[in-house]
């Protein structure tokens, strides 16, 4: 039985993995013509990113570059020399290697069959031939060339080095000579993604894990997990940068690469990654919303796009005894990116940006609250909100780790558990988990015992899986009273045990 378009949602199983990396690679290659001179002043206007050509991962895997033995890294002991084995570790254990394989799975075939029921002309018969699938399941720059010779090579690489670091033809040789002093300028000059900047890293990841408009300069197609794909069986995107990053086998060593010599990140980086990731997710969501609205006005694309709403605003149990939003929960259906979508919590953001972000998001929320939001107006306000959030992301990413951690703690200290819905409760719990990881990293090795209160929070928020089914149900077991009690206990415990800088 096929799923009617826009009426039935099938939440598939699966976890979207984070696109991230620090691997470096070196092999002689002449820079492309037209590359900016090396003496370009640091204050020069930002130039369009260099496009470059992909060299595929073989350009990084030489034993003298990033292909050395990964013995220590495979034992979860990253260190200052991890970069020497980053390609080896990625190849051995990183889940991104399997991203393209997923397009040959039974679920992928089912999704394509569902999509082609009503509009066979819009979708390829095979996900491996569909640019909208390859855009996130491989290097986005190669997705539009899926039918060219060498496609099989593309399939085997998955989301590999250049998917995150950028196409390497212009910087493959050059980047081996960069230093902490000139690294940011050189990355911009030669088109390498600045993944050493946690804000830029989170934005790169959000490009696939939240979505992004097409980028002609880089040759990237539209990356848009819309309601049609979700209704056909694709898992919804539910991105948490800090948690996804933490789950990866790190093929990099977390350090401040803008300092010379580079220094390891402090434990407070855990909380910094969380708050920066939250802002990057909100920025990406606003940027994609602006593009969706613009395409609706320009091309007649579906509007409003239902994936902008919370899934469980509609897909929930209706029986009186089952969970549904109460008078204490928000009625807005726009997707939640806590704390950015909570006016009372935005006040804890850095003062320099809080006012601008609050004003732009409030204006956008007003437009979206209308019964029929106008695409042109939505696109304008969403673009303005994205720009404000980008400024906030850059400010938080550039702040000392401890300062960003103070901001994260201040946001979580303002939580009013009485008014949180299921989505917000999950996101608050992830923020508390980042503070807990920070505490564990600061504690002596013999005192690194996780807070047992998290177990209760996880069990109370977990989605049930019907027996014999391969998908998750709605949060019908969500009990706001139990969740409120658990959150309040966790907050009190963290205030007592989590050492936050003064």
pLDDT in tens, 181-214: 888 889 989 989 999 999 999 999 999 999 999 9
13 or 118, which is more confident? 118
> What is the reported pLDDT for 362?
93
Contact (Cβ atoms closer than 8 angstroms) between residue 149 and residue 12: no
pLDDT at 222 over 90: yes
> What is the reported pLDDT for 146?
62
The reply to whether omega before 189 is within 30° of 0 (cis) is no
What 3-state DSSP class applies to 178? coil
Q: Which of 7-21, 95-109, 110-124 has the lowest mean pLDDT?
A: 7-21
Q: Which of 217-231, 253-267, 306-320 has the lowest mean pLDDT?
A: 306-320
Give backbone dihedrals phi and psi of 215, rounded to 5 degrees, phi first. -125, 90
What would you report as the CA-atom Rg of the chain, rounded to the nearest whole angstrom?
Answer: 23
Residue 448 to residues 401, 439, 442, Cα–Cα distance (Å): 21, 8, 9
Sequence-distant (6+) residues with CB within 8 A of 298 are none
| Tokens describing residue 101 | 């394989």
CB neighbour class for 259 (10 Å; exposed up to 12, middle 13-18, buried from 19): exposed
pLDDT at 1 over 70: no
Question: What is the rounded CA–CA span in Å between residue 348 and residue 435?
Answer: 16
Q: C-alpha dihedral over 286, 290, 293, 298, to 10 degrees?
A: -160
33 or 339, which is more confident? 339
The reply to whether omega before 354 is within 30° of 0 (cis) is no
The mean pLDDT value for 476-500 works out to 79
Question: What is the rounded CA–CA span in Å between residue 346 and residue 358?
Answer: 7
The reply to whether omega before 63 is within 30° of 0 (cis) is no
Give backbone dihedrals phi and psi of 66, rounded to 5 degrees, phi first. -120, 15
Question: What is the rounded CA–CA span in Å between residue 435 and residue 267?
Answer: 9
At 352, the pLDDT band (50, 70, 90 cuts) reads confident
Residue 86: name the closest of 72, 98, 107, 104 by CA.
Answer: 72
Sequence-distant (6+) residues with CB within 8 A of 150 are none
Average pLDDT, the chain: 81
The string of pLDDT tens digits covering residues 438-476 is 988 888 888 888 888 888 888 888 887 777 776 777 887
At 70, the pLDDT band (50, 70, 90 cuts) reads confident
Contact (Cβ atoms closer than 8 angstroms) between residue 252 and residue 86: yes
Question: What is the rounded CA–CA span in Å between residue 70 and residue 79?
Answer: 11
At 498, the pLDDT band (50, 70, 90 cuts) reads low
- Sign of the alpha-carbon dihedral angle for 475, 481, 484, 490: negative
- Sign of the alpha-carbon dihedral angle for 303, 307, 308, 310: positive
The mean pLDDT value for 29-47 works out to 36
pLDDT at 33 over 80: no
Tell me what percent of the residues of the chain surpass a pLDDT of 90.
Answer: 39
**Residue that is written with structure tokens 């050059």 in the block:** 174
| Tokens describing residue 288 | 């994609």
- 72-86, 327-341, 383-397, 426-440: which has the highest mean pLDDT? 383-397
Measured CA angle at 46 (ends 40, 49), to 5 deg: 95
Question: What is the rounded CA–CA span in Å between residue 19 and residue 24?
Answer: 15
Q: What share of the chain is helix, strand, coil (3-state, %, to 5)?
A: 50, 0, 50
The reply to whether omega before 339 is within 30° of 0 (cis) is yes
**What DSSP character marks residue 336?**
P
Sequence-distant (6+) residues with CB within 8 A of 426 are 461
DSSP secondary structure string for all residues of 182-215: THHHHHHHHT---TTSHHHHHHHHHHHHT-B--B
DSSP secondary structure string for all residues of 25-39: -----PPPTTPPPTT
At 58, the pLDDT band (50, 70, 90 cuts) reads confident
Question: What is the rounded CA–CA span in Å between residue 501 and residue 405?
Answer: 8
> What is the reported pLDDT for 6?
36
| Tokens describing residue 163 | 């998917």
Residue 79: name the closest of 92, 70, 66, 88 by CA.
Answer: 70
How crowded is residue 236: how many other Cβ atoms within 10 Å of its Cβ? 17
Question: What is the rounded CA–CA span in Å between residue 81 and residue 77?
Answer: 11
The string of pLDDT tens digits covering residues 272-291 is 999 999 999 999 999 999 99
Residue 19: name the closest of 206, 194, 192, 167 by CA.
Answer: 206
């Amino acid at each position: 039985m096929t799923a009617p378009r826009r009426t039935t949602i099938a939440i598939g199983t699966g976890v979207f993995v984070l696109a991230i990396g620090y691997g470096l690679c070196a092999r002689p290659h002449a820079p492309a013509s037209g590359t900016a001179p090396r003496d370009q002043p640091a204050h020069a206007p930002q130039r369009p990113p260099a496009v470059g050509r992909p060299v595929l991962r073989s350009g990084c895997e030489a034993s003298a570059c990033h292909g050395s033995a990964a013995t220590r890294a495979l034992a979860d002991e990253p260190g200052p020399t991890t970069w020497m084995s980053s390609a080896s570790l990625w190849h051995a254990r990183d889940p991104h290697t399997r991203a393209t394989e997923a397009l040959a799975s039974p679920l992928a075939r089912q999704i394509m069959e569902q999509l082609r029921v009503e509009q066979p002309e819009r979708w390829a018969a095979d996900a491996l031939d569909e640019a909208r699938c390859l855009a996130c399941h491989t290097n986005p720059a190669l997705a539009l060339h899926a039918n060219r010779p060498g496609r099989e090579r593309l399939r085997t690489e998955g989301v590999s080095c250049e998917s995150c670091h950028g196409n390497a033809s212009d910087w493959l040789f050059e980047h081996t000579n960069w230093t902490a002093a000139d690294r940011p300028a050189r990355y911009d000059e030669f088109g390498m993604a600045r993944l050493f900047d946690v804000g830029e890293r989170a934005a790169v990841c959000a490009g696939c894990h939240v979505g992004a408009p097409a980028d002609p300069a880089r040759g990237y197609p539209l990356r848009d997990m819309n309601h049609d794909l979700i209704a056909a069986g694709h898992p919804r995107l539910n991105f948490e940068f800090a948690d996804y990053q933490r789950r990866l086998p790190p093929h990099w060593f977390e350090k401040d690469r803008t300092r010379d010599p580079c220094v390891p990140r402090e434990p407070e980086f855990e909380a910094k990654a969380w708050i920066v990731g939250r802002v990057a997710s909100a920025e990406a969501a606003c940027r994609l919303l602006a593009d969706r609205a613009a395409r609706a006005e320009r091309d007649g694309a579906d509007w409003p796009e239902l994936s902008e709403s919370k899934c469980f605003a509609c897909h929930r149990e209706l029986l009186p005894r089952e969970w549904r939003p109460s008078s204490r929960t928000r009625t807005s259906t726009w997707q939640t990116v806590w704390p950015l979508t909570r006016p009372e919590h935005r006040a804890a953001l850095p003062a320099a940006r809080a006012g601008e972000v609050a004003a732009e998001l409030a204006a956008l929320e007003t437009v979206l609250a209308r019964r029929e939001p106008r695409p042109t107006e939505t696109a304008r306000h969403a673009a303005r909100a994205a720009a404000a959030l980008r400024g906030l992301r850059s400010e938080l990413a550039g702040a000392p780790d401890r300062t960003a951690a103070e901001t994260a703690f201040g946001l979580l200290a303002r939580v009013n558990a009485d008014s949180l819905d299921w989505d917000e409760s999950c996101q608050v719990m992830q923020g508390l988990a980042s503070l807990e990881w920070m505490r564990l990293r600061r504690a002596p090795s013999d005192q690194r015992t996780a807070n047992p209160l998290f177990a209760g929070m996880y069990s109370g928020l977990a989605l049930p899986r019907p027996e014999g089914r391969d998908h998750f149900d709605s949060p019908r077991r969500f009990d706001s009273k139990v969740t409120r009690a658990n959150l309040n206990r966790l907050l009190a415990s963290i205030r007592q045990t989590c050492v936050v800088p003064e």
